[in-house]
Each structure stands twice: as structure tokens, then as C-alpha cells.
Amino acid sequence: MTDITKMCRKGINNLGVYAPGKPIEEVKRELGLEHIIKLASNENPFGCSPKAIEKIKEEAENVFLYPDGNGYYLKQTISEHYNIKVSQIILGNGSEEIVHMIARGFINQDDETIMAVPSFPRYETVTRIMGGIPTQVPLKDFKYDLPAIASKITGKTKIIFVCNPNNPTATILRKDELDEFLSQLPQDIILVFDEAYSEYVDDPQYKSGLTYLKEGYENIIVLKTFSKIYGLAGLRIGYGISSPQIIDILNKVREPFNTNRIAQKAAIEVLKDQEFVNKVRKENSKGRMYLEKAFDKMGLEYVKSYTNFIFVNIKKDSKTIFEKCLQRGIVVRPGYIFGYPQYLRITIGTEEQNEKLVEILKQLL
């Protein structure tokens, strides 16, 4: 029999398959449970704007037609929202697809990329898929260590990924740290700011990559998503903002109909409904404070969170506690997969979900 594994591109055999947070359907099926609370993938427990649901229903009857691959109206809405040019925007099937486009567009064999670890794992994977070499720099105090990253830059460095806020630790970089880093960064290195959770941040020290773009840096790509605060994770839609030159390149490697009709329509509505977003942000802050207080009372240390998830030290084996939570109908993310065997990454849920989580953790710990 032919060994097919020998036929694939170099490096692919060594890659793992991405293991996402367990889907609710799978947990129900495997454990025979009726009610599952999923706090594992940083989705929005409050759903999305009701205005988007209306549009989704309306658009359903047009699904026999291909979408506008260029996403004209959604790009228009995004451009007005941020006061940027349409030529600065690319749409993706989730922001994750844009991470892949960046790799396809820019990484040659043996080019180097730099990212922190633990951070969003796709930066490393897409680099390897393209035959590039990822340099992973450990976090310092749960944050991206920018001086250490700067020290790893070589003549072969093509891209630096900065996840801000960082997943899984929920930390942010301050603007003075970023200013310093950018002032030394060679202009022929692409700096990707993954800002999937930026809408949750309300700290004046936070500076979006968008501000740097507006200040004139042309080598910056900012990634945003509709999967988190906007509540459209199931529709798969995100976007990137950069200089028109970079967007042109990304468009060359983009699948022609990568974002679907329903997602485009829904995204326009959620972006316009900032009242809903503000409500979610408020509820999330309340939930975060509730969990912080509960963890304090339980004597558990956690990393100060700027997002809709918390990285908490449970002082016990995370795999065991993850499995016990699962049997009780709560899905969280065990820290061992990120190299922190005693931590859990917990998405902040609704009031009721948070209370249930605390009750179960109290029993288990």
C-alpha cells in the first residue's frame, strides 16, 4: 500500500489537528446530558443583536445565490465605523482565515515568524504549513515579552504576531510598551495585531494597532472578529485592516467567496447595534467582577483579565478538574494544553452560568 503520508508537503505530518473547545452537541452525546454550559471558547453567552437575527431570517431565502465575494456593503459599514478606506479592509471566514491568508501571502520556505507562547496557536501552525520557522517566545508575567521578541528578530524575520489582548491569559500590552517596540521595528517586518477581544477592553493604557496604522505605519495588519463581543461565532466572519498594499496581496490569496451572504448581512447589523455591544460589555464586566470575588474567597489566584475570559490557578490538575466539570455539564478549557497544568481558562458567562460554575468549582476544589 502506498504510504500517503510521504506525499504531503514537508512539515505537515508533524502538525497536530487543532482541538477546539468541546462543542455542546458532542458533550451532550458523549455524556448523555441535557443541559450543558459552555465556557470553553470565549463565545458571547448573550448571543447577538436581535436585529441581526431578523436579517439572518430575511437573507435565508437568498442562499441559492453566491455571495458578493468582495463584501461591498459590509466593508462600507466597517469603513464608516472606523473612518478608514474600503481599500484597507479584507473580510475573512473568521479572523482565523485571515491569519492563513497572511501566511499564504507572505511566508516563503524558511522565513521566520515570531509569536509568544502560550498565545493563539494558529500563528505557529500557519507558519509551519507554509514551510516557515516559528520562533516562540515565552510570556513574561502572563504577557507578551516585547523586548525578548525584539531580541529574536533576524534577517529572516517576516512576520511578528501580537495577540492583544492575549488568549489564553487575557492580558493586554500598554501603549508605552508598544510604542517602544514599534520605534525599533524594521519596516520590512509585518506586525500582526490580533485584536479578537479588543472590544472588551476599557483600559486607557490600551492602544489598538489601528491607531498605529492611522499614524502612518504601513506594515501593520489588525485582525478583528465578529465571533466574540458581536456574538456571531457560528457564522464565521472576521476582518483585517491594513495598508491598501497589504490588502491587495491578501486579496490575491483569498478564496473568491470566502464569506457567506448571511454572515455579511448579520455582521452589518451587529456592527451598527453598538447599544447591544455596550450592554454585553457591561454584563461581561459584572460577570468578571463576580468571578474575581468568588475566586478571591476561594483563595484562587487569577490573572487580571481585560476580556471575556479568566485564566485562574486552581492549584489542582487541570485535566482532572476539566473532566469533572464536564461530567457536571460545564465545559471549560484546561490549562495543560497551554503549558499551565494547574490553570483553567474560563469564559465569563451569564449570571446564572457563572453562579453554577462557582458552585461546581467549590465542590471540586
Strands 301-302, 309-313: pairing is antiparallel
Cα-flanking dihedrals φ and ψ of residue 313, to 5°? -90, 110
| CA nearest neighbour of 300 among 335, 249, 260, 339 | 335
Interface segment toward ligand PLP; rule CB under 6 A; list 88-96, 269-277, 345-353, 354-362: 88-96
The arrangement of strands across the sheet holding 309-313 comes to: 301-302, 309-313, 343-347, 333-334
Binds ligand PLP (CB under 6 A): choice among 225, 260, 305, 354: 225
Contacts with ligand PLP in 89-108 (CB under 6 A)?
94-96
Least distance from ligand PLP to the Cβ atom of residue 308, Å: 10
Beta carbons of 239 and 228 less than 8 angstroms apart: no
What single string gives the DSSP state of each residue in 81-117? Answer: HHT--GGGEEEESSHHHHHHHHHHHH--TT-EEEEEE
Nearer to ligand PLP, 49 or 258 (CB): 258
x-or-dash pattern for ligand PLP, window 151-170, by CB under 6 A?
------------x---x---
Point out which residues pair with 161 in neighbouring strands: 192
* Min CB(167)–ligand PLP separation in Å: 4
- Residue 269 has which C-alpha cell? 447589523
One-letter amino acid at 133 equals I
Other beta carbons within 10 angstroms of residue 333's beta carbon come to 25
The distance of closest approach from Cβ of residue 72 to ligand PLP in the complex, given in angstroms and rounded to an integer, is 20
x-marked contacts with ligand PLP along 245-284 as a string, rule CB under 6 A: ----------------------------------------
Least Å from the CB of residue 259 to ligand PLP: 11
Nearer to ligand PLP, 67 or 238 (CB): 238
Binding mask 110-149 for ligand PLP (x = CB under 6 A): ----------x-----------------------------
From the list 139-147, 225-233, 250-258, 338-346, the region that binds ligand PLP by CB under 6 A is: 225-233
- Are 95 and 241 in contact, with CB atoms under 8 Å apart? no
Q: What binding mask, one character per residue, do residues 10-49 give for ligand PLP by CB under 6 A, x or -? A: --------------------------------x-------
Q: For the segment 194-223, give every residue that binds ligand PLP (CB under 6 A).
A: 194, 196
Q: Measured from the CB atom, is 37 or 196 closer to ligand PLP?
A: 196
One residue of 134, 238, 329, 335 binding ligand PLP per CB under 6 A: 238
Start-to-end CA span in the chain (Å): 51
> Which residues, in sequence order, are CB contacts of 219 under 8 Å at separation 6+?
185, 187, 188, 189, 190, 191, 243, 246
Rounded distance between C-alpha atoms, residue 340 and residue 203, angstroms: 26
- 190: part of which helix (H) or strand (E)? strand 190-194
Question: Judged by CB, which is closer to ligand PLP: 163, or 361?
Answer: 163
Q: What is the residue whose three cell numbers read 500500500? A: 1
Closest approach of Cβ 193 to ligand PLP, in Å? 10
Give min distance, CB of 61 to ligand PLP, in A: 26
**Where along the sequence are the contacts to ligand PLP (CB under 6 A)?**
42, 94-96, 120, 163, 167, 194, 196, 225, 227, 233, 238
